[in-house]
Amino acid sequence: MTTDQFSVAGQTVIVTGSSSGIGRSIVERFAEDGANVVVTSRSQENIEPVADAINDRASDESEDGEESDYGRAIAVECDVTDREAVEALREATIEAFGPVDVLVNNAGASFVADFGDISPNGWKTIVDINLHGTYHCTQVVGEGMREADGGRIINMASVAGQRGSTGMSHYGAAKAAVINFTTSLATNWAEDGIRVNCIAPGLVATEGVRSQMGIDEDEGGIDRTEADRRIGRPEEIADATQFLASPASSYLNGETITVKGVPRLDE
């Protein structure tokens, strides 16, 4: 059985919010499959080690002076709420690797609070990062895709945007908007050869989720073969992302894939 349809080798991929957690797993997975990746977040000191590790791995994979099949990486600092920074991110990507084939809008932020305790600034901050950041990156990078041969845009939402979540009204509202935006844009840009899809993760064992939700489950102890588990691993979101970025998902457009387990019966 061939698996070539799942390959992203040779593609140029931007993954926002990729200094840690789900974003880092995505850039590492794509590079391992041969894609050139742009690691980006608001802190240069956080993204450089991720890009360096990928490039070191690519060098290690080389044998007898031959070019490695492993992808390369660059680190570009970018605040996705800053339009000029997003434009600079696009230019840096094109200069390093050429036109962008895949954009993964992964940058996000949240905090837990009762609705009555959310300040106007707190509400605006969460909406700016999760929704407006997705808008800026999609419009800036997507314009190049429209002028070329198309591309794939993958937006990261959340189950909180599908059914709500206690103490997460601001975050859920922003992610619900991302889901609707995905469906609408897929219809608008389909004729340009651009597929736009979305992933709605459930609880995933990242440092941010652990600290925010008070989850102390050990990521290393999570068994990917078990269905009845409460929390997943970042690599499992990377699996779904690679699928949506690859030719294997060619007949999927405007959809949101929910990636979550189920609560254990004893919880």
Residue 89 in 3-state DSSP? helix
Q: How far is CA 182 from CA 8, 58, 227, 235, in A?
A: 21, 34, 28, 23
Reported as half-sphere exposure (CB side, CA atoms, 13 A), residue 203 has a value of: 18
Catalytic residues: 171
Distance CA 140, CA 149 (A): 16
Reading the block at residue 105, the tokens are 């809008």
Query: Are 80 and 106 within 8 A, CB to CB?
Result: no
Strand partners, 201: 259
Rg from Cα positions in the chain: 18
What three-state secondary structure class fits 174?
helix
Coil, strand, or helix at residue 166? coil
How many Cβ atoms are within 10 Å of 170's Cβ, its own excluded? Answer: 21
